[in-house]
Structure 1
Amino acid sequence: MEITENAALIVVDVQKGFEELDFWGGRNNPEADENITSLIDAWQTTGRPVVFVRHDSAKPGSPLRQGQEGNEFKEYVEQRRGKGIASELLVTKSVNSAFYGTPDLDAWLRAEGISQFVVSGIQTNMCAETTARMGGNLGYDVLFALDATYTFDLEGPFGWRRSAAELAQTSAVSLHGGGFATVVTTKEVVAAAAGALPRERGRALP
């Protein structure tokens, strides 16, 4: 795996409101927050840009509504904002895709000369997947860090119900098999990012 020198990390909707399991239901991947932390730290350490995305829900009763504590980033994300040495962007949105937020994510990425990005965050099969799909459609090289995402059990039509783990697997198969993104693990991405660190920064691995 090759991580470009200016590859962006997109951290999607890692907000306190997703801790309200009475509202969302059962979740998968309890290691997701630790893995998201590892990605942010790796990106900031290697001087790469990070995009933090916040969902400002317009739905009554949503824990993610503006003015609610649930709208805020989780503490470990908030503590890391502004700590990197590279470009950083805050995107706010009220729909699934970070490309339909403010400011214009596509315009920012292109202005920064960024052609590759890694997606992490919440929910796997909702905002994270939609952002990855749109990125692929727009011509970006998208890496989807599956174990740095999580989602919740969900009921659909005809009484069909799928667990969070099943939904995450379906997202991974659709994204990877459909050519929208390359599905990877956090460990793979962090190792590749460290290995690609430019020697002139004095941090290259031997």
Structure 2
Amino acid sequence: MSTTPRRALIVVDVQNEYDRGGNLAIQHPPFQETVLNVAKAIDAATEAGVKIVVVKQLAPETSPVFAAGSHGGELHPEVAKRPRDHYVEKKLPSAFTDSDLEEWLRANAIDTITVIGYMTHNCDLSTIIHALHMGFAVEFLSDASGSLPYANSAGYASAEEIHRVMTVVLQSRFAAVLKTDEWVGHLKAGTLPERDNIPASYQRALSKQAA
């Protein structure tokens, strides 16, 4: 039986709001680097015949971010100028909530989604967990995504900390986490990326602590 996944590339919220000058400018990894990997992943998917879904966050005209009709709310040119097979608009973090994404994926016999875009710790995370609960296998390209720093009543975390911790947590259970070039290699070779589990991740951590 073939183990080759039937993939769809899910391009989450690659909008101008995350670019330099936007109200949510991505800090780590830098947006200017990661958006090029977004473009590379879309091009590789197109070449490999992998279906592409573009997701866009919507907000009212009065919203401080992603306001309807604003420059920040529009798709970034690197995504807007590239082909796509399906388009989803959303108002909540998960691309599955109140959208036809699951129905479209099922209709196209997709069993694996590859998530790229922004932000690692918010819409990517929500979409990935939602997909896992629906029975999809998930891949996440960590250099085609990014995070912001946060400070609130719970404390402070840098963008690097948030992105790094999220990728470790995702790899432990929710998704196969890999770089864009690695993913392109798997597309060309028809191979599967490494997946992990919580017990193994925990035991490795104990070994590092004891070293």
Same fold per superposition (TM over 0.5): yes
The offset of 1:54, in angstroms, is 0.1
The offset of 1:18, in angstroms, is 1.5
Change (3 A) 1:63 1:137: same
* Higher RCO structure, 1 or 2 (CA under 8 Å, sep 6+): 1
1:10 is matched with which residue? 10
Which stretches in structure 2 are left out of the alignment for 5+ residues?
Answer: 192-211
- What is the TM-score when the length of structure 2 is the normalising length? 0.82
- Find the residue that maps to 1:100 and give its secondary structure: coil
Which stretches in structure 1 are left out of the alignment for 5+ residues?
Answer: 83-87, 198-206
Give the partner amino acid of 1:152. L
- Find the residue that maps to 2:50 and give its secondary structure: coil
2:86 is matched with which residue? 89
- What is the TM-score when the length of structure 1 is the normalising length? 0.84
The offset of 1:50, in angstroms, is 0.3
1:43 is matched with which residue? 45
**RMSD of aligned C-alpha atoms?**
2.1
Distance in 1 of aligned mates of 2:72 and 2:25: 16
Aligned partner (choices 185, 190, 193) of residue 196 of structure 1: 190
Give the partner amino acid of 1:164. A
2:36 is matched with which residue? 34
2:166 is matched with which residue? 171
Give the partner amino acid of 1:62. P
Match status 1:183 vs 2:177: yes
Change (3 A) 1:20 1:26: same
Q: Can you list the C-alpha shifts for 1:130-184, whole angstroms capped at 9, x where unaligned? A: 10111111111100111110111111324x111111101121122122x111111
Task: List 4+ stretches of structure 1 deviating above 3 A.
Answer: 2-6, 58-61
Q: Is the 8 A contact 2:17 2:25 kept in 1?
A: no
Q: How many residues align?
A: 188
Identity value in percent = 30
Change (3 A) 1:43 1:191: same
The offset of 1:129, in angstroms, is 1.0
Aligned partner (choices 143, 152, 156) of residue 156 of structure 1: 152
Distance in 2 of aligned mates of 1:54 and 1:141: 22
Aligned partner (choices 60, 68, 71) of residue 69 of structure 1: 71
Q: Is the 8 A contact 1:7 1:117 kept in 2?
A: yes
